[in-house]
Amino acid sequence: MPRQAKHPELSQLSPKAKDAAYKRKWREEKKSDPAETERLRQLQNEYKRRSRARLKLEQAPPAKRRRVATPDAGPSDSHVPVSNSPSVMDGPSDDTPNTSGSSNTQNSTASTDPSDITLCHASVQAVPSRQFIDISVTTEPPPFTRDVEIMTELSCIDPTTFSNNPPAPSTCFTPPRDLHDSKDLVTNVIGVQVSSWSDTVKWSSGFTTILPCIWTDGKNICQEDADAVRYFSQLPESDPQSSTNVVHVHHHNWSSRPDELRDLIAKTLREGKCIVIRGAEKPQVAKLDVDYLENCGFSRFMRVAIHDVEERTRNFTYPQVEGTIEEFILDLDNPNKVQFVLDLPYTGMGIPEHLRLLDHGIVHGWNQTTAEHPIVDPVHPDNFLVNGWALAHHPAVLTNFHHDSDGGVTFVQSVLGKKMWILAFPKNPNISRTKFLKHSLELTDTPIKPNKIKANWNLEVVTLEEGDMLIQPPGQYHAVFTPTEAFCKGAHCFNYEFLHEMELSRHLDAKNGKYLTNQLHEHSLDTLHRMVLHLPRVSSHTRLFTRPLIALCMMVIDSHKYVAAGGNKKKSFQRSTTAPAIAICNAIVKHFWTDIKTAVSVYVNGPDKTQGRQSLTHPGELINRSELAICLKPFINV
């Protein structure tokens, strides 16, 4: 149902005149509201106070940094820490995984009712002011630092006095650029970068954002997205203390323990949970413009596929328009254009250096097999391009529920702008794959149907601020709202410990890929082959579990079953690596489980073959490495 116009008396005006008239009204309303005036006055006073505090700090001698205990504090000196909080790694040691189908990550008082088991599978600184970008008057803001907020008070400019109407409503007060303490993500966006007709919403986290809006012919053509975002805003923000699905840590508590952090990430993801690392990088203060992107290495003339939200309302499967980075940026201040770019290659930049060993596809698969198995076939570049990418968004973009394609682990880090990351975890992971697929389709069905979703999914929101990183396991269902202009970076990779989640994800894609995933990649079998070829020489430090190993064998032996829906299932995938990889998989299956049928039964039903007990995300038991060495000895040629 179309939304009622806020100012019906303006409906006869041309779009340009209407926009200008609306801005004048908006500004007048703001000025005439005593509460708003008082709020702005108090904000100014607060920033003045901080500015004075900052000056004092600058004059004082540097103080020693003090370590403060926090709920998400890192490990004690001995290995992985134990905490009373289930969200902060309370669970089995890596050597004693629970094979009962329920997660040991619950605390001891947790219910054992399957419905209670929460396994799952499944920007900041500153949003700079862009208010007067096309006015011939510029006001140079004062310099600012990351950790001290500075008041920025610009002179009052009345846009109506300019012959060329400015694109935004103006107030005499311009918020400071460092919005760390500010929950207002609306000012500087509404009427500037997003239509003045957009509604706003307050999230459980306290942030206020605009809702998606492209105002055309008297209605918001993004009303479905707006309804979905309003629904998401009411979901609980992930709580570091009580979340059983998301582990929260802060980088500074782990920076000296990269090995332990990698172990924690692996343990979290192989159980189907997500991990958020606050402060993974120092937050940046910058605005998203061509200079910023050029400094990241992207030429303003680079050709990109621009996802256009208006086009998406017409053609959901192909919303892209061709353009350059410069054109994308030029439309940032056009309230009628809401766009984003997903294909900014950023190879090698998506995973922090101290976490790159988690990328087993590259580190073990590609880097360590080419001496025995030289690369002789054409290799799809995505095998390497997925290891780093960047995304750029206009404000008010919703990406609805999906899982990332091909079953890779996803690293994502907010660089400029914030992200509301909505995560969905199955209430009961001990269900059949058929049922899980049905629930997945309900989740990805738009418009969002809250009642259906509530019945089968636990939802929570992780607000990623500038510098925060989220790592999610393969197949993790998520929706993302980008409230302000944003630039983020990330990567996908494969890991021996999460291949059971990858298999489930690819299985679902093969059944209903066009509904569940965001892209279709064809490269992953190359990397899986390489990971198999490495097994005869795999390090004892690399943890191998039963279900991920069976999953790897299934995906290599029966690769045609995992072609995503819409792909050519009859096309045979033959590489020089195909035969040796299949031979190794067959040897493993025969040695440990006699045949593939039995292996699949163990995979689906658990070691005791009691149907319904095996969780979809449980990794199973550690593989006996002596047995594996005996089994794979014939494949060591030298």
Interface residues with Fe ion (CB under 5 A)?
404
Euclidean distance between the first and final Cα of the chain, in Å? Answer: 71
Q: Which residue is nearest to Fe ion (CB)?
A: 404
Beta-carbon contacts of 403 under 8 Å, excluding residues fewer than 6 positions away, are 122, 474, 475, 476, 477, 478, 505, 508, 516, 517, 518
Q: Which is nearer to Fe ion, 132 or 487 (CB)?
A: 487
- Residue 296 CA: distances (Å) to CA of 102, 299, 328, 357: 45, 9, 16, 24
Please give the single-letter amino acid code of residue 360: H
Nearest to 306 by CA among 337, 333, 352: 337
Q: Which is nearer to Fe ion, 178 or 460 (CB)?
A: 460
Q: Which is nearer to Fe ion, 20 or 409 (CB)?
A: 409
- CA 95 – CA 563 distance, rounded (Å): 34
Q: Which is nearer to Fe ion, 86 or 408 (CB)?
A: 408
* Contact indicator for 473, 404 with CB cutoff of 8 Å: no
Q: Which is nearer to Fe ion, 177 or 419 (CB)?
A: 419
Largest CA distance in the chain: 84
Nearest to 230 by CA among 195, 201, 189, 204: 201
Query: Least distance (Å) from Fe ion to the CB of residue 392?
Result: 15
Query: Least distance (Å) from Fe ion to the CB of residue 518?
Result: 5
DSSP 539: -
Q: Which is nearer to Fe ion, 75 or 212 (CB)?
A: 212
DSSP 337: -
Query: Least distance (Å) from Fe ion to the CB of residue 511?
Result: 19
DSSP string, 591-605: HHHSSHHHHHHHHHH
Query: Least distance (Å) from Fe ion to the CB of residue 616?
Result: 20
454 CB neighbour count, 10 Å cutoff: 11
- Radius of gyration, alpha carbons of the chain: 26
Strand runs (DSSP E) across 117-233, as ranges? 200-202, 208-210, 215-216, 219-220
* Order of strands, sheet of 409-416, starting from the edge strand that comes earlier in the sequence: 246-250, 274-278, 469-472, 409-416, 486-493, 389-393, 339-345, 303-308, 320-324
Query: Least distance (Å) from Fe ion to the CB of residue 345?
Result: 17
User: Using CA atoms in the order 246, 249, 255, 260, what is the torsion angle rounded to 10 degrees?
Assistant: -50
Query: Least distance (Å) from Fe ion to the CB of residue 517?
Result: 9
Query: Least distance (Å) from Fe ion to the CB of residue 113?
Result: 31
Query: Least distance (Å) from Fe ion to the CB of residue 478?
Result: 6
Query: Least distance (Å) from Fe ion to the CB of residue 332?
Result: 22
- CA 198 – CA 196 distance, rounded (Å): 5
Q: Which is nearer to Fe ion, 23 or 402 (CB)?
A: 402
What are 56's two structure tokens?
Answer: 């004092």
Query: Least distance (Å) from Fe ion to the CB of residue 411?
Result: 12
Q: Which is nearer to Fe ion, 178 or 404 (CB)?
A: 404
Q: How far does Cα 521 stand from its chain's mean position?
A: 18
Q: Which is nearer to Fe ion, 404 or 503 (CB)?
A: 404
Q: Which is nearer to Fe ion, 23 or 506 (CB)?
A: 506
What are 215's two structure tokens?
Answer: 């105002």
Q: Which is nearer to Fe ion, 408 or 548 (CB)?
A: 408
Please give the single-letter amino acid code of residue 504: L
Query: Least distance (Å) from Fe ion to the CB of residue 397?
Result: 12
369 CB neighbour count, 10 Å cutoff: 23
Q: Which is nearer to Fe ion, 459 or 533 (CB)?
A: 459
Between vectors from CA 100 to CA 99 and to CA 105, what angle results, nearest 5°?
80
- CA 127 – CA 616 distance, rounded (Å): 41
DSSP 634: G
Query: Least distance (Å) from Fe ion to the CB of residue 594?
Result: 39
Q: Which is nearer to Fe ion, 421 or 562 (CB)?
A: 421
Strand runs (DSSP E) across 346-485, as ranges? 389-393, 397-402, 409-416, 419-426, 457-464, 469-472, 477-482
DSSP 155: P
Query: Least distance (Å) from Fe ion to the CB of residue 207?
Result: 21
- CA 80 – CA 96 distance, rounded (Å): 14
- Residue 462 CA: distances (Å) to CA of 237, 337, 579: 6, 27, 44
Q: Which is nearer to Fe ion, 186 or 423 (CB)?
A: 423
315 CB neighbour count, 10 Å cutoff: 10
Query: Least distance (Å) from Fe ion to the CB of residue 490?
Result: 9
Query: Least distance (Å) from Fe ion to the CB of residue 46?
Result: 37
Q: Which is nearer to Fe ion, 125 or 410 (CB)?
A: 410
Query: Least distance (Å) from Fe ion to the CB of residue 339?
Result: 17
- CA 95 – CA 106 distance, rounded (Å): 17
Q: Which is nearer to Fe ion, 98 or 482 (CB)?
A: 482
Nearest to 391 by CA among 333, 346, 359: 346
Residue with tokens 């045949």: 595
